[in-house]
Amino acid sequence: MTLEEKVGQLFVTYLNGQSPDEVNPVNRTDFGVDTPAQVVAKFHPGGVIYFNNSSRDNIDTPKQVAALSNGLQRSATSSGSRIPLAISTDQEMGIVTRIGAPATQFPGNMALGAGRSTADAEKAATITANELRAMGINQDFAPDADVNSNPVNPVIGVRSYSSDPALAADMTAAQVRGYQQRYLAKGAVSATAKHFPGHGDTAEDSHTSLPVVDRTVEQWREVDAPPFRAAIAAGIDSIMTAHIQTPRIDPSGEPATLSKPVVTGLLREELRYDGVVITDSLGMAGVRQLHSDAEIPVLALKAGVDQLLMPVDLGLAVTSVLNAVRTGEISERRIDQSVLRILRMKFLRGMLTNVLVDVDAVPRKVGSAANLATAQQITDRTTTVVRNDDGVLPLRAKPASALVTGWGETTTTLLADRLTARGTATTRLATGSAPTDAQIAAAEQAAARSDVVVLLTNALSGQPAQRSLLARLLATGKPVVAVAVQNPYDVGYDAPTWLATYSYGAGAMESLAKVVYGEVGPKAKLPVEVPGPTRFPLGHGLTW
């Protein structure tokens, strides 16, 4: 390989468009070429990443994704070093899911942590890997191995399995086994544990700021390290860094992504990890506050990183690394170390052979009836009943009428449909994150006409209007079933009946309906401590 080809392997880039030959004007702006395939041919990157947002727009249907993957692989193997791509996405499940239905949707990490079943976690990852591989995706930036020790964490939350390091470690290892399966397995993908050294104790979002985690090395070893240790013991292919400052570990002020004491000292030397280390997106504010976009890739490599994810200007980033090698700032031997790790990952996970997928087979492999049934069974084991002080649940007889109200247009619709399907005349009134006085009054009036009220909440601590809605509905005297549909910390606010679903997707709402109507018994336990106003300990959960 030439130096240029080796440096290309270090980069994982975004692309614009849903087909390899789609002319997208954003590609011309970002890369100086027109199509995704031309980006690959020009820069011969080691990998690409798919998104489903308006700016990147790579994902429509599973068959379309498979065709895109095939086209990009053809471009990669017919140009440059001819090495196939690592094609990645963030399919964590739960709130970070790039490929939605008809692909099988599983509960996210905290729901799995509530279910406490490593077998369920491994099975969910295995099916997810099989479906991703059927679409030509061979690397998943999952699982999230962060220990969510800060209840106000704005970016991790339910992406974490638990606030308990041991539980998070067990679930992380199980999902690594599920994603990666075995060497050269046809349905396996490379797993990626994130965000090292641990993003769980931040109160800020590294997409928009540079958070500080004020842990000592000893505290890190006790709280944040166990899931990463478990991932490494399970044979994890790659680990993603966090854009956070750790001043008691590295007083230089560098974000962990650019910190040699963190990447080389803790990850390489203390944890003895010799797999691929990849940065979080280099377009995030957390890594761009202290250095220019030209400096960042070079500093990351000097810290011990192997792969550079989504630089803002790919051409500038590649040139910066090439110049650093040519001037002696970075040795070519150092580049070779990273390239060998990347090629080893590609070989062991079967990315170098049989890279094209059968597009016509995708509908049989993605979202199959068997996979969907398994996903629902797993989800049914993740709903936690936290309070049932008045003995309202399970509903002994199906109510004639119900009101579903609170957070989420789609989520209230999903749940209302589930209740209606069970023979209950259901009124739906979505009130959003910050209900107005008029919406609260309308909800009160609708509650007065209903036999039971189901209130969906999300982030009560920062939403006084949602708390007011809860209080006003309780004052109607009607049975109110309050449900925290994302972070479970909402259950600390006063209401006699509280459940936590950790997710607001269709599967979670089906499971919620089953628990409320007594079709399945609740088995899940809180995977975090709820600090209050009413405290609930880790592991609390009611059953019947």
Nearest to 309 by CA among 290, 287, 335: 287
Please tell me which residue in 205, 207, 451, 494 is annotated as part of the active site: 207
Q: What share of the chain is helix, strand, coil (3-state, %, to 5)?
A: 40, 15, 45
H helix or E strand, kind and range, residue 41? helix 36-43
Please tell me which residue in 140, 146, 237, 280 is annotated as part of the active site: 280
Q: Which two tokens stand for residue 229?
A: 């240790």
Query: Other C-beta atoms within 10 Å of 91: how many?
Result: 24
Q: Which two tokens stand for residue 510?
A: 């089906």
Name the 3-class secondary structure at 255. strand
Strands of 238-241's sheet, edge to edge?
A: 276-278, 238-241, 190-196, 139-140, 86-89, 47-49, 11-13, 308-309
For the chain, the maximum distance between any two Cα atoms, rounded to a whole number of angstroms, is: 77
Q: ∠243-194-357 over CA atoms, to 5°?
A: 120
- Would you call 280 a catalytic residue per the annotation? yes
Asked if 488 and 526 count as a contact pair (C-beta separation under 8 A), the reply is yes
Phi first, then psi, for residue 348 (nearest 5°) are -65, -30
Q: Which amino acid type is present at position 68?
A: L
Name the 3-class secondary structure at 265. helix
Q: Which amino acid type is present at position 133?
A: R
Query: Other C-beta atoms within 10 Å of 182: how many?
Result: 11
Phi first, then psi, for residue 17 (nearest 5°) are 130, 160
- Would you call 490 a catalytic residue per the annotation? no
Which residues have a catalytic role annotated? 207, 280
